C-alpha cells in the first residue's frame, strides 16, 4: 500500500472538475497501454458531481467508452431505478450520456432483481462477477481496478463500511450490510481487501463536516475505527479535497493546493 498524496482544491466545484479531468487522463492512459480500463464508482454528492463534470466535459470524447469496465464500491439495497441507488445517480449524471457497453456496466444487484431480495445472496453474486472478471495477473478474487473512487462520511465511513461494523472484519470481497447507521440500513459493499486491490484509490471529500474524518484517515488510525484509513491503493492513493475538508490536515502531509 502506498502513502497517500493529498491535493487541495479551492472549492467543491473545482475539486469535481479537477477529478473529472484526472479521470479522463487516467482512463486514456490505461486504455492506450492495455486497451481497456476499469473504474469503480461511488455514490455521494462529490462522486456524482465528478461524473456530471465528466459528462459536461468535451474531453470525455477522448475515452473509448466501449472498452471501459464500470463497477460500484457500494450500493443501497433498494429496488431498481430507486432515486437513492448509487446506480441511478451515476446513470443520470454520466452513463446515460456516453456510449458505454451495457455488458461492461456492472451495478450491484437491486432488491427487486431477478436474483431475489436476499442481500447476502446479492453480495455473493456480485463477488462472483468480480471473480469472473479477475485475470491471473490480478492474483486475487477481484480485478485490479485502475481507479476506485470513494466518498467519505463525517463518521469516516467509505463505501458502506461504517466504523466498527462486522463488514470491516470480513475477508470476503463483497458483503451485505444490515443495520447501517446511515439509511437505508441494508446495503452491499466491497470490503477493504477489494478496495485495496485497486491500483489507484481516490478519496473525494468536500466540506468542513469531513475535516475530522480526513485528518483521522491520514493519521495512522486503524480502519475498523476509521474506515477511510483503510482506503489505500496498490500503486497510488489520492485524497482529493476542497479547502474546508482539508482544514485539519496533520502536519507533514503532502499538500498541493490549487490557487
Ligand X SMILES: O=C(O)[C@H](O)[C@@H](O)[C@H](O)[C@H](O)COP(=O)(O)O
Q: Does 44 bind ligand X (CB under 6 A)?
A: yes
Among 5, 21, 45, 208, binds ligand X (CB under 6 A): 45
CB closer to ligand X out of 92 and 138: 92
**How many residues lie near ligand X (CB under 6 A)?**
14
Span interacting with ligand X, options 16-24, 55-63, 90-98, 146-154, rule CB under 6 A: 146-154
Q: Does 217 bind ligand X (CB under 6 A)?
A: no
**Under rule CB under 6 A, which residues in 62-81 are in contact with ligand X?**
74, 76
Q: How far is the CB of 231 from ligand X (least distance, A)?
A: 12
Find out whether 223 and 229 touch, Cβ atoms under 8 Å: yes
Q: Does 42 bind ligand X (CB under 6 A)?
A: yes
Span interacting with ligand X, options 24-32, 37-45, 121-129, 194-202, rule CB under 6 A: 37-45
> CA–CA separation, 138 vs 142, rounded Å?
7
Among 4, 43, 109, 227, binds ligand X (CB under 6 A): 43
Span interacting with ligand X, options 15-23, 24-32, 42-50, 164-172, rule CB under 6 A: 42-50
Span interacting with ligand X, options 13-21, 122-130, 145-153, 211-219, rule CB under 6 A: 145-153
Q: Does 141 bind ligand X (CB under 6 A)?
A: no
**Under rule CB under 6 A, which residues in 147-186 are in contact with ligand X?**
151-153, 160, 182
Q: Does 46 bind ligand X (CB under 6 A)?
A: yes
Amino acid at each position: 500500500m502506498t502513502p497517500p498524496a493529498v491535493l487541495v482544491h479551492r472549492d467543491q466545484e473545482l475539486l469535481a472538475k479537477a477529478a473529472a479531468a484526472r479521470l479522463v487522463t487516467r482512463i486514456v492512459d490505461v486504455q492506450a497501454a492495455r486497451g481497456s480500463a476499469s473504474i469503480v464508482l461511488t455514490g455521494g454528492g462529490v462522486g456524482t458531481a465528478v461524473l456530471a463534470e465528466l459528462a459536461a466535459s468535451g474531453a470525455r470524447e477522448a475515452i473509448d467508452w466501449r472498452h471501459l469496465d464500470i463497477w460500484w464500491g457500494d450500493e443501497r439495497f433498494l429496488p431498481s431505478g430507486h432515486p437513492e441507488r448509487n446506480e441511478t445517480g451515476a446513470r443520470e449524471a454520466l452513463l446515460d450520456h456516453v456510449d458505454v457497453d451495457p455488458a461492461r456496466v456492472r451495478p450491484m444487484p437491486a432488491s427487486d432483481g431477478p436474483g431475489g431480495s436476499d442481500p447476502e445472496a446479492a453480495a455473493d453474486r456480485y463477488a462472483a462477477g468480480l471473480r469472473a472478471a479477475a485475470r491471473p495477473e490480478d492474483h486475487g478474487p477481484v480485478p485490479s481496478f485502475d481507479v476506485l473512487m470513494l466518498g467519505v462520511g463525517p463518521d469516516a465511513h467509505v463505501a458502506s463500511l461504517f466504523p466498527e461494523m462486522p463488514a470491516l472484519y470480513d475477508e470476503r470481497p463483497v458483503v451485505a450490510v444490515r443495520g447501517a447507521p446511515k439509511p437505508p440500513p441494508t446495503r452491499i459493499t466491497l470490503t477493504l481487501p477489494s478496495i485495496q486491490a485497486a491500483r489507484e484509490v481516490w478519496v473525494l471529500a468536500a466540506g468542513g463536516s469531513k475535516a475530522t474524518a480526513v485528518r483521522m484517515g491520514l493519521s495512522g488510525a486503524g480502519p475498523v475505527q476509521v474506515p477511510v484509513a483503510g482506503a489505500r491503493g496498490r500503486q497510488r492513493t489520492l485524497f482529493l479535497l476542497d479547502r474546508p475538508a482539508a482544514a485539519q490536515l496533520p502536519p507533514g502531509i503532502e499538500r498541493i493546493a490549487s490557487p
